[in-house]
Amino acid sequence: MRPVITLLVLLASMSMARAEPLTVDFGGQHYALNFEEQAKLPDGRPGDGIAEFTLPGETVDNWSKLFAYHAYPGMPADPLLAVQTLGKMVKENNKDANYAIIEDKETGEAIIDFLTWVPDSDIMEFDVFKYARAENGPGLVALQFAQHIKLGDLDVEGMRALRAKSVEYMASTNIDLARDYFAAKLKKWSAAEPQSPATLSDRASAER
């Protein structure tokens, strides 16, 4: 029989291992899950979801770089339409902002990158999103990389280099990261939330 202290140490180490946050690597840097949330639709199904990852020592309230998974089960399963809509929203919020779109017709994925800022602020935000069909459920999933840049920290060439690298990294990052994350969430949600026969019938009709 193991000594009690040995068992306690073993149990503590197992508990710590389970408590370690989910991590992701992007652009050679290591991000850890800092915040996650998923809305609940009126019929009980999961709605839009988000999981945000930050660098060591940073939080979702104070970050220099951020990586995120998004789920949009209510959106049309059209990645290109999603990035076009996001681009229009960026311009509506900041007419001086610019964006670029890349569509991968082979995979059906679409990428948008843009640089924007809040008026009278010295902080700019550069974002890259990649959208794809959820496959494990309705709608879309997306990956996001964002970076805060203080005005004057990067010149034009520096911004071009940041954009080129970030878009390249995003293009090579597997969208299954987001698909698998939200598929696991949906599985847990379904197990924890028994659905009524009417709801199951509605879903079966929708799937047909």
Mean pLDDT throughout 27-41?
93
Please give the structure tokens belonging to residue 134.
Answer: 């959820």
The third-level CATH classification (topology) of the domain covering 16-194 is Protein Transport Mog1p; Chain A (3.40.1000)
More confident residue, 94 or 193: 94
The model's pLDDT over 105-133, given as tens digits with 9 standing for 90+, comes to 999 999 999 999 877 888 999 999 999 99
pLDDT at 202 over 80: no
Report residue 39: phi and psi, to 5°.
-75, 165
The model's pLDDT over 161-173, given as tens digits with 9 standing for 90+, comes to 999 999 999 999 9
Contact (Cβ atoms closer than 8 angstroms) between residue 69 and residue 50: yes
Mean pLDDT throughout 135-161?
93
pLDDT at 50 over 60: yes
Q: Which residues, 6 or more positions from 31, have their beta carbon under 8 angstroms from its beta carbon?
A: 23, 24, 25, 53, 54, 55, 65, 66, 67
Q: How far apart are CA 132 and CA 134, in angstroms?
A: 6
**Least confidently predicted of 72-76, 127-131, 197-201:** 197-201
pLDDT at 158 over 80: yes
H or E element, residue 157: helix 156-172
More confident residue, 6 or 179: 179
Confidence (pLDDT) at 19: 56
pLDDT at 140 over 80: yes
